[in-house]
Structure 1
């Protein structure tokens, strides 16, 4: 019964919901609307998505402050009741007063605090915080490939985690803790005003002084809180970068220069933390001095008024109880205001990352790509990575349906860039690319990439099971097709022998971050199996067999040939023997096509391709070079 009641509250806010109207049933339709890039607008954007529970938090916060203030008034009433009655007549004379205070303490206070806990702990913290993180994550996933090339993955991930917690904590503290404190102060001024107007004036002046501290001193905390959040994410990014590339660190960093790089991040973080804590010390000292003056002034006024008979002993107890409680609350509240400011600074820092509008978007009228034949046409394609010149210059190329072409050229000739442009990982700076007559800039990115199978030279796998990695392009694929794809990629033998630290075996074994538990050749074979299972009409093979030894490569060449049958293929290889038998070879140099034709024709011409071929010997071509 209780669990069902709590579960109802837990489902008030959908943790995976999205305010974007283009999202229905969890499925993405078009690009998502970017999140607001100003901190208060970002917070308000999410607050509107949980109006009712946040309103409940506001009401319970105000009631909490009101109940606290009334309890201290009740202490004064009890003292006066004790003075005006004997032990024998106390219950008779003041039954209703005592009953009301008992009800306020046991029933009203308990219900208010329980309601506040329900809204905060069952609704806001688990679901509202997750909703902010989820929407931030989804929009980051809409960012282009270059966005992730230019930053630490760990730093970006830290922003997603931080912004959900910081924005959620800001709202909770503002609506519950801060509002409860404000309510207590307002009622405290009102109660003291009924006892002695001078006491109310002292408390009012104290409130103005407290406000002055908040306005004048806390901006420094906000400044250094934001700097601390940013430097913390830098430290996290550097540590993750070191751990991700741990093999390179072990092999090449004998002098432990990596420690100095990470330590530099720690030192920047430490400097910002120290500046933040200096500001905090100043604020705490100012509040303590202000509170001491307030307690002294009200204490003097209360005793003087009692001596002159202007107020009762109960009024003295009420006044001193209120100000002593206010002293406790003000220090605690300043800590929470510090948290408010720091959380706001963290949100400011994070929105610069999570709210950045994607630089590469589907057009509003983008349609799914339809591939019937597989013709690819590059028309006057120009791309410079924003440098103004170089890389790809006015390149035109027609790849006929079902044709297998190889891209050849020295490093930096533009081979991989051309493939990345076909996949629309970047937008063209000039010209256009057509697939079956459809401009790829006018189709959805998801449909474009779903029609192209890619095996890259640098194969990284997800830290999931072998099965999940093979089926990543077709998550609904049946088990027998997954196994068949692994067999065709010559991967089944080593998969059956895998076992991870949690005793998961075979296709259930997890491969580690980026597939680090597998060798390069094993990762490559999993990648080939993934493409075989995806069965896309267009294939891109970027050094697809570069990590394989000769025996394994020979074993899967036949399957690769079967995989390419009836498909349009673009292959890149530095090991020219792997692409010499393709229908046509395109030789690139400095972003331009300088030669094209079949292998034998290009050898006879004695141009760049013939030069590259003659240079490849030993472990690359051996017999072919001698021949």
Structure 2
């Protein structure tokens, strides 16, 4: 039976999630999509169980009155027998009621609801623009994905159990006390009013400090994760103590919010204890007085005293639950700021897939600046013909990488258009655009998965033979076969570590090149693609790159000019403008910016003179038959 309940709520809905609205209640309402009927059922069952538990006190009073009037040996009357049978049936039926409630709470919602939210939150974050992650710690975002989902679940379940269940429970107790004598309602009503006033004072303050604590926790986790993610840099600069103190500063901030929270909790608990002692004295004492005057029976005294004692234990539980509730509300509010952000780069409604027919790339009067702070491109025009190979040259900050990022639509242009085969890339889906482009970057980052998975990332349906062939063309097969990890995996099954930390820079770059070779996209982008390789391996890989560049539109960025001098056309950029373009020989003959850059390089390296008229020849093409 539990498994049938576990299948009622799907933890991984296929529908693409929409960015939730801002504001606590709209956000929570959006989070309940798909699970509302089960949450409503849980609330109804919690209220029913509360009524049942309150009824037990009436049952206690009836039993006490029955025992007070009944003498040993006397026969049980029909009325009394009916009462006892009724009580027995209600007690047995409660098993089914509690079983149904716990199945809904623990089998349907407890695991599936937070998993569903994490799945949706994670997909929302994956759709975020690159600029979003440039301004956030990865660990901080991860923490929010994980803890906000749990906090939403706890808020919803606590609300169902406390606000609805306990609310019904207290109303039932007050009604039952009034059933014995209307005056017995007064101590309970007084306690509810004073307890409510205490919560109105403490709970919002607990909620505020809970939100601050959630933010402090995210910051603390982000700083710790950042140190682990960049452990090589930390070790290289001998900054383990500095990183420890950097994390400690966030931990101290978290400590201060924790202290403030615990002070409020201690004050609330003291006030709560004073209120329940007053309730026990008032309710029990008043009941005894009424019994002494003969206005109520023994059963009423027993029931009312038991109710007051039950409220005593329950009030402490409510206090902690309410404190936890508002701590979770603070966590949810902290997550709202992250999950309600719409991605800056989005597909237009009805966007179609990009159709590549030739591979022509056109930058038409493209202007772009980063957050209005710095104009990077200003009315740039550039046409890359189908199958043409161009090299982008220029000093750092000239706009080369920005041009590539805009073509990949990591950012949207401020004005102008970028077209591929006549299609404005702003009007096609981002996935289809990036599927048509292969790129090798200078800073190669691999996923913490196997070598095989990393290469196949370029084409997930590739066969093992395809993967090995791509690795051989990238001169990677030799070192891959020698790899192993602590879990006994070898070769292509070896796990590479976070960001590929187990591999050298050259090895990571060869894996990245193999990945792009396997993808075999019609447009190829190279950003210092061979910068981390030694000369011998670079020459061998360049042969393979020349082969895969055949028939493709290629845009290459290089600071080492010798690596791109053999391109069909070189584009020299400065301050977001194209200032020169032509072949290597043509640009040298003009004696302009490119010629000056070339004079300061010899074989592509800075600080040496070289014959500026020496034109590097294209590397011999790689032949499969070789």
Q: TM-score scaled to structure 1, two decimals?
A: 0.94
Is contact 2:524–2:554 with CA below 8 Å preserved after alignment? yes
**Corresponding residue of 2:29:** 44
Q: Which one of the candidate residues 419, 434, 443 is aligned to 2:404?
A: 419
Matched, 1:584 2:580: no
Residue pairs, 1:59-208, within 5 angstroms? 59-89=44-74, 94-105=80-91, 107-208=92-193
Is contact 1:82–1:90 with CA below 8 Å preserved after alignment? no
Question: Which stretch shows the higher mean deviation, 296-305 or 251-260?
Answer: 251-260
Matched, 1:217 2:202: yes
**Corresponding residue of 1:282:** 267
Is contact 2:451–2:492 with CA below 8 Å preserved after alignment? yes
- Kindly tell me: are residues 623 and 565 of structure 1, through their superposed partners in 2, closer, same or farther at Cα, counting changes over 3 Å? farther
CA distance in 1, matches of 2:468, 2:59: 75
CA distance in 2, matches of 1:518, 1:260: 30
Q: CA deviation at 1:51?
A: 2.4
Q: CA deviation at 1:71?
A: 1.4
Q: CA deviation at 1:83?
A: 1.6
Matched residue of 1:522: which SS?
Answer: helix
Q: CA deviation at 1:171?
A: 0.8
Q: Which one of the candidate residues 379, 399, 403 is aligned to 2:364?
A: 379
**Structure 2: where are the runs of 5+ without partners?**
615-626
Residue pairs, 1:472-621, within 5 angstroms? 472-617=457-602, 620=605
Matched residue of 1:515: which SS?
Answer: coil
Q: Which one of the candidate residues 8, 11, 18 is aligned to 1:12?
A: 8
**Structure 1: where are the runs of 5+ without partners?**
none
Is contact 1:461–1:513 with CA below 8 Å preserved after alignment? yes
Matched residue of 1:143: which SS?
Answer: coil
Matched residue of 2:110: which SS?
Answer: helix
Q: CA deviation at 1:180?
A: 2.1
Q: CA deviation at 1:90?
A: 6.8
CA distance in 2, matches of 1:97, 1:478: 75
Q: CA deviation at 1:515?
A: 0.9
**Corresponding residue of 2:623:** none
CA distance in 1, matches of 2:367, 2:2: 59
Is contact 2:573–2:579 with CA below 8 Å preserved after alignment? yes
The Cα offsets for residues 450-471 of structure 1, whole Å up to 9 and x where unpaired, read as 0000100111011111111111
Is contact 2:129–2:410 with CA below 8 Å preserved after alignment? yes
CA distance in 1, matches of 2:550, 2:193: 80
**Corresponding residue of 2:617:** none
Is contact 1:71–1:101 with CA below 8 Å preserved after alignment? no
**Corresponding residue of 1:238:** 223
Q: CA deviation at 1:417?
A: 0.8
Is contact 1:392–1:414 with CA below 8 Å preserved after alignment? yes
Q: CA deviation at 1:103?
A: 3.4
Q: CA deviation at 1:388?
A: 5.1
Matched, 1:326 2:311: yes
Q: CA deviation at 1:79?
A: 1.6
Matched residue of 2:329: which SS?
Answer: helix
Q: Which one of the candidate residues 368, 371, 393 is aligned to 1:408?
A: 393
**Corresponding residue of 2:621:** none
CA distance in 2, matches of 1:142, 1:422: 18
The Cα offsets for residues 477-525 of structure 1, whole Å up to 9 and x where unpaired, read as 1221111111111111111111122212211111111111111111111
Question: Which stretch shows the higher mean deviation, 153-162 or 74-83?
Answer: 74-83
**Corresponding residue of 1:360:** 345
**Corresponding residue of 2:39:** 54
Question: Which stretch shows the higher mean deviation, 254-263 or 375-384?
Answer: 254-263
Matched residue of 1:380: which SS?
Answer: strand
Q: CA deviation at 1:231?
A: 0.7
CA distance in 2, matches of 1:371, 1:6: 52
Q: CA deviation at 1:13?
A: 1.1
**Corresponding residue of 1:443:** 428
Matched residue of 1:475: which SS?
Answer: coil
CA distance in 1, matches of 2:579, 2:152: 56
Q: Which one of the candidate residues 422, 427, 438 is aligned to 1:453?
A: 438
The Cα offsets for residues 412-433 of structure 1, whole Å up to 9 and x where unpaired, read as 1111111001111011112111
**Corresponding residue of 2:619:** none
Q: CA deviation at 1:160?
A: 0.9
CA distance in 2, matches of 1:254, 1:336: 42
CA distance in 1, matches of 2:180, 2:143: 53
Matched residue of 1:473: which SS?
Answer: coil
- Kindly tell me: are residues 466 and 87 of structure 1, through their superposed partners in 2, closer, same or farther at Cα, counting changes over 3 Å? farther
Q: CA deviation at 1:91?
A: 5.5
CA distance in 1, matches of 2:566, 2:603: 20
CA distance in 1, matches of 2:353, 2:609: 45
RMSD: 1.8
CA distance in 2, matches of 1:358, 1:39: 20
CA distance in 2, matches of 1:114, 1:253: 58
Question: Which stretch shows the higher mean deviation, 279-288 or 396-405?
Answer: 279-288
Q: CA deviation at 1:292?
A: 1.2
**Corresponding residue of 2:284:** 299
Matched residue of 2:554: which SS?
Answer: strand
CA distance in 1, matches of 2:483, 2:72: 82
CA distance in 2, matches of 1:419, 1:373: 19
CA distance in 2, matches of 1:418, 1:231: 38
Q: CA deviation at 1:109?
A: 2.6
Aligned residues: 611
Q: CA deviation at 1:557?
A: 1.1
Is contact 2:483–2:491 with CA below 8 Å preserved after alignment? yes
Q: Which one of the candidate residues 318, 326, 330 is aligned to 1:341?
A: 326
Is contact 1:61–1:177 with CA below 8 Å preserved after alignment? no
Matched residue of 1:453: which SS?
Answer: strand
Matched residue of 1:393: which SS?
Answer: strand
The Cα offsets for residues 352-394 of structure 1, whole Å up to 9 and x where unpaired, read as 1011111111111321111111111111111111335432122
Is contact 1:225–1:346 with CA below 8 Å preserved after alignment? yes
